[in-house]
Amino acid sequence: MQKIAINSGEDMKALFGSAFVITDTNLDRIYGGMLPKNRFAINAGESNKTLYSVEKVVNAMLKYGVKRGDRIAAFGGGLVGDLTGFVASIYMRGIQWSFIPTSLLAMADSCVGGKTAVNVGLIKNAVGAFNLPDVYVETKYLNSLPQREFESGMGEIVKMSLMDADLYEFMHGKFDAVEAVKKCIKLKSDIVEKDLSDNGPRRALNMGHTVGHAVEMLTGLSHGKSVLIGMKLETAMLRDLLEHNYFYEIQSYLYKYIGKMPLNLDAEAITVIAMSDKKNKGGISIMYPQGIGDIREVVLSRSEFLRLLKGAM
């Protein structure tokens, strides 16, 4: 079982107890004065989640003399966590790592379950590994979070609310970020405990990601907003499978968090990227909500996917 501590005050102990810390340039400007000196700041932004960045981090770790028995730490959002976890999985055939998430998305979603990866070209998370960290969630870091990143985290929280009636009801009341983080961690931890390798129940967490990953790579929109757009388009593609009133309820719910849809989406380009999605088995896989907590899968051929996507747009 993964160790996850919430508002325990152990974040500094975890950071200073690590042989090396990885963060990004934005966070380094804000928190650099309180971070250990043995750290490396990668350039912020999804475009830097690459094998080239992995090489730069590894070279820095070698320079600092990080050994196989050491532990490293990630201080940042999903990008930093993904990169650090992947580096930890391959450095000297694997070392331990801790994650101090600083974004809403990382706290509520990506810090749980050990998915780590980097992008290759337009293929998101093409190279990676399952590598569980010890996690120290301190919601105080949300106070410095830019609005774009807060909205990105809301995307994954909204997605998870379609998987659980209690969380769905909570999202229709007065929103509390700390409570939302706690609920999402509990929900995702329960799922991951049953299916770490993403071959069964965990696949439900991929809702919105088939189209969403393509939207993210093509537009530069945040991950969470791209997932929301992905869910909106995917449910529209499969509207004949959903009960009429439920379809419109979900569309309205998602629109509340998306706002204005981007007008420059290219169905052909999205389809090309979706064809390379690592979740595919025999066709393009889409996870969709048949009802709250009832997540199902449909597999489409390339031509079916393109036709339905064009109709949804």
Query: Residue 86: what are its φ and ψ, rounded to 5°?
Result: -70, -45
Chain segment 84-107, per-residue pLDDT in tens: 999 999 999 999 999 999 999 999
What single letter denotes the amino acid at residue 96? Q
- pLDDT at position 278 over 90: no
How far, in Å, CA of 179 to CA of 194, rounded?
Answer: 23
Mean pLDDT over each residue of the chain, to the nearest integer: 95
- Predicted confidence band at 280 (pLDDT cuts at 50, 70, 90)? confident
Statement: residue 279 has pLDDT above 90: no
Q: What percent of the chain has pLDDT over 70?
A: 100
- Whether the CB-CB separation of 81 and 111 falls below 8 Å is answered with yes
- Could you write out the three-class secondary structure of the chain? CCCEEECCCCHHHHHHCCCEEEEEHHHHHHHHHHCCCCEEEECCCHHHCCHHHHHHHHHHHHHHCCCCCCEEEEEECHHHHHHHHHHHHHHHHCCEEEEEECCHHHHHHHCCCCEEEEEECCEEEEEEEECCCEEEECHHHHHHCCHHHHHHHHHHHHHHHCCCHHHHHHHCCCCCHHHHHHHHHHHHHHHHHHCCCCCCHHHHHHCCHHHHHHHHHHHCCCHHHHHHHHHHHHHHHCHHHCCHHHHHHHHHHHHHHHCCCCCCCCHHHHHHHHHCCCCCCCCEEEEEEEECCEEEEEEECHHHHHHHHHHHC
Which neighbouring-strand residues pair with 226?
none
List of domains in the chain: 4-144 (3.40.50.1970), 147-312 (1.20.1090.10)
**Each residue of 288-301: pLDDT tens digit?**
999 999 999 999 99
- Residues 166-196: tens digit of each pLDDT: 999 999 999 999 999 999 999 999 999 999 9
- Where does the pLDDT of residue 205 fall: very low under 50, low under 70, confident under 90, or very high at 90 and above? very high
pLDDT confidence tier of residue 154, bands split at 50, 70 and 90: very high
pLDDT band at 157 (very low <50, low <70, confident <90, very high): very high
Which of 214, 223, 88 lies closest to 154, judged by CA?
Answer: 223
Q: Which tens digit of pLDDT belongs to each residue from 108-128? A: 999 999 999 999 998 889 999
